[in-house]
Amino acid sequence: AAGVIQSPRHLIKEKRETATLKCYPIPRHDTVYWYQQGPGQDPQFLISFYEKMQSDKGSIPDRFSAQQFSDYHSELNMSSLELGDSALYFCATYNQMVTEAFFGQGTRLTVV
Amino acid sequence: AQTVTQSQPEMSVQEAETVTLSCTYDTSENNYYLFWYKQPPSRQMILVIRQEAYKQQNATENRFSVNFQKAAKSFSLKISDSQLGDTAMYFCAFMSAGGTSYGKLTFGQGTILTVHP
């Protein structure tokens, strides 16, 4: 069965650079959630989209932005990267017929 | 806002024995879902078990079962016949069943479980 695809799996960037993380949901999943998980921490909600519209917003820095496209994939854009942005970034996708999150394998971002 | 608390940062158990991980939560909602996720060293987030709040019967999934106490807002995970592959970080998570927050997971701090041979 198709799963949630995140790309890239690993990313190394320097401070003040920009990064773009992508999430491709399971077919017919119209909802995407983004989470940030720092080392040794629990995942923290960043932002979500339903039917290409932002549906909820968490503790997402102003330096970050995201959108969901017509094919339902989502991109998280991160600018002016800081060392503290180093983390594992997950996306999770749903549709209204399911009651569990389907997680991607995550993108490990390292800022040096 | 919902909060989820896991009061055991680390637990250990001998192979083949039973271990229980604790989780409490706070919410004013009546309809919601609770989950236990396993995160092994690969850091993939793996669903272990799910409980619907409207169901009184505790969920079970092979060696994994929960003790769901809605009034006490408690949701513990019992792992029977522990195996070395159960070694991982375990997260308890809450999800609203409706409204704009449907689908958003609130996680506990996690419990690192180590299974010893």
Give the pLDDT confidence of A75-107 residue by residue, as tens digits.
Answer: 999 999 999 999 999 999 987 777 788 999 999
> How distant, in Å, are the alpha carbons of A53, B26, B84 from that of B2?
24, 6, 33
Residues 6+ apart with CB under 8 A from A62: none
Residues 6+ apart with CB under 8 A from A36: A43, A44, A46, A87, A88, A89, A90
pLDDT range class, residue A28, cuts 50, 70, 90: confident
Residues 6+ apart with CB under 8 A from B105: A33, A35, A43, A45, A92, A101, B35, B93, B94, B95
Q: Is the distance from CB of B53 to CB of B34 less than 8 angstroms?
A: yes
Average pLDDT for A61-79? 96
Q: How many beta-carbon contacts under 8 Å exist across A and B?
A: 54
> Least CB-CB distance to B104: which of A56, A100, A103?
A56
CB contact residues (below 8 A), chain B span 28-57, against chain A:
33, 35, 43-45, 47, 50, 52
Which range, of A20-29, A46-55, A89-98, B26-35, averages the lowest pLDDT?
A: A89-98
The two three-digit tokens of residue A13, written as one number = 């960037």
Residues in chain B closer than 8 A to A58 (CB atoms) = 104
CB-CB under 8 Å, B43 with A88: yes
CB-CB under 8 Å, A33 with B103: yes
Q: Which residue has the tokens 């619907």?
A: B52
**Tens-digit pLDDT profile for residues B28-74:** 998 999 999 999 999 999 999 999 999 989 999 999 999 999 999 99
